[in-house]
A and B are shown apart, each in its own frame.
Chain A
Amino acid sequence: MYQRERERERERDYREEMARSTGKDAQALFHSLRSAYAATPTTLKIIDLYMGFAVFTALIQVVYMAIVGSFPFNSFLSGVLSCVGTAILAVCLRIQVNKDNKEFKDLPPERAFADFVLCNLVLHLVIMNFLG
Chain B
Amino acid sequence: MAKLLLYLTLATSLIPLFSVAFSPENPTDRRVLVLVDDFAIKSSHSLYFGSLTSRGFQLEFKLADDPNIGLQRYGQYLYDALVLFCPSVERFGGSIDVASIVDFVDSGHDLIVAADSNASDLIREVATECGVDFDEDPAAMVIDHINYAVSNFDGDHTLIASDDFIKADVILGSKKIEAPVLFQGIGHSLNPANSLVLKVLSASSSAYSANPKSKLSNPPSLTGSAISLVSVVQARNNARILITGSLSMFSNRSGVQKAGSSIKHEKSGNEQFLTEISKWVFHERGHLKAVNVRHHKVGESDEPAIYRINDDLEYSVEIYEWSGTSWEPYVSDDVQVQFYMMSPYVLKTLSTDQKGHYSAEFKVPDVYGVFQFKVEYQRLGYTSLSLSKQIPVRPYRHNEYERFLPAAYPYYGSAFSMMAGFFIFTIVHLYSK
With a cutoff of 8 Å between Cβ atoms, the chain B residues found around residue A42 in the complex are 432-433
In the assembled complex, how far is the CB of residue A129 from the closest CB belonging to chain B, in whole angstroms?
11
C-beta contact mask, B403-430 vs A, less than 8 Å → 1, else 0?
Answer: 0010110111011011101100110111
Contacts of A131 in B (CB 8 A): 411-412, 415
Q: Are B429 and A46 in contact (CB under 8 A)?
A: yes
Assuming the A-B contacts A54-B418, A86-B421, A117-B426, are A46 and B432 also in contact, with contact meaning beta carbons closer than 8 angstroms in the complex? yes
Residue interface bits B119-157, CB-to-A below 8 A is 1, else 0: 000000000000000000000000000000000000000
A72 touches B414 (CB 8 A): no
Q: Using A46-B429, A60-B414 as known contacts, say yes or no to A72 and B408 having CB atoms under 8 A apart.
A: yes
CB of B415 within 8 A of CB of A78, answer yes
Which residues of B are found within 8 Å of A120, using beta-carbon distances? Answer: 422
Contact B421 A128 (CB under 8 A): no
CA of A83 to CA of B421, assembled, Å:
10
Which residues of chain B from 373 to 418 have any CB-CB distance to chain A below 8 Å in the complex?
A: 405, 407-408, 410-412, 414-415, 417-418
Nearest chain A CB to B193 CB, angstrom units: 53
The 9 tightest CB contacts between A and B, nearest first, are A79-B411, A75-B408, A75-B411, A79-B414, A72-B408, A82-B418, A82-B415, A50-B425, A57-B414
Q: What per-residue 1/0 map shows which CB atoms of A101-132 lie under 8 Å from chain B?
A: 00000000000010001001000100110011
A-B contact pairs, 23 of them (CB 8 A): A42-B433, A43-B429, A47-B429, A50-B421, A54-B418, A54-B421, A58-B414, A60-B414, A61-B410, A64-B410, A71-B408, A72-B407, A79-B410, A79-B414, A79-B415, A80-B411, A82-B414, A83-B418, A86-B422, A90-B425, A113-B429, A113-B430, A124-B419
Main secondary structure of the interface of A (DSSP, over half): helix
A8–B411 alpha-carbon span in the complex (Å):
61
For A53, A75, A78, A80, which residue has the most chain B Cβ atoms within 10 angstroms?
Answer: A75
A66 close to chain B: CB less than 8 A: no
A121 to B419, CA, bound (A): 9
Chain B interface helix/strand/loop/mixed? helix
Q: Give B430's nearest chain A residue, CB to CB.
A: A113
- Residue in chain B with minimal CB distance to A131: B415
Between A64, A79, A117, A128, the greatest number of chain B beta carbons within 10 A of the residue's beta carbon is seen for A79
- Which of chain A's residues have a CB closer than 8 A to the CB of B433? 42
- A61-73 interface bits toward B, Cβ cutoff 8 Å, 1 = contact, 0 = none: 1001000100110
B399, chain A: closest CB distance, angstroms: 14
Q: Are A57 and B411 in contact (CB under 8 A)?
A: no
Residue interface bits B173-207, CB-to-A below 8 A is 1, else 0 = 00000000000000000000000000000000000
- Identify the interface centre among B405, B407, B428, B430: most chain A CB within 10 Å of its CB: B407
Contact at A61–B411, with CB atoms within 8 Å? yes
Measured CB to CB, the nearest residue on chain A to B405 is: A72
Flag A22-48 by CB within 8 Å of B: 1 or 0 each.
000000000000000000001100110
B249–chain A nearest beta-carbon distance, Å: 74
Query: In the assembled complex, which residues on chain A have CB atoms less than 8 Å from the CB atom of B422?
Result: 86, 120, 124
**Chain B residue nearest in CB terms to A84:** B418
Q: Are B428 and A61 in contact (CB under 8 A)?
A: no
Q: How far is the CA of A108 from the CA of B405 in the complex (A)?
A: 44
- Chain B residues with CB under 8 Å of A90's CB are 425
Write out the residue numbers on chain A whose beta carbons fall within 8 Å of the beta carbon of B408.
71-72, 75-76, 132
Bound complex: CA A68 to CA B405 (Å): 13
Alpha-carbon separation in the docked complex, A117 to B429 (Å): 12
Smallest Cβ distance from B212 to chain A, in angstroms?
Answer: 82
Distance to closest chain A CB from B268 (angstroms):
77
Q: In the complex, what residue of chain B is closest to A113 when comparing beta carbons?
A: B429
Q: Cβ of A82: which chain B residues have Cβ within 8 Å of it?
A: 414-415, 418
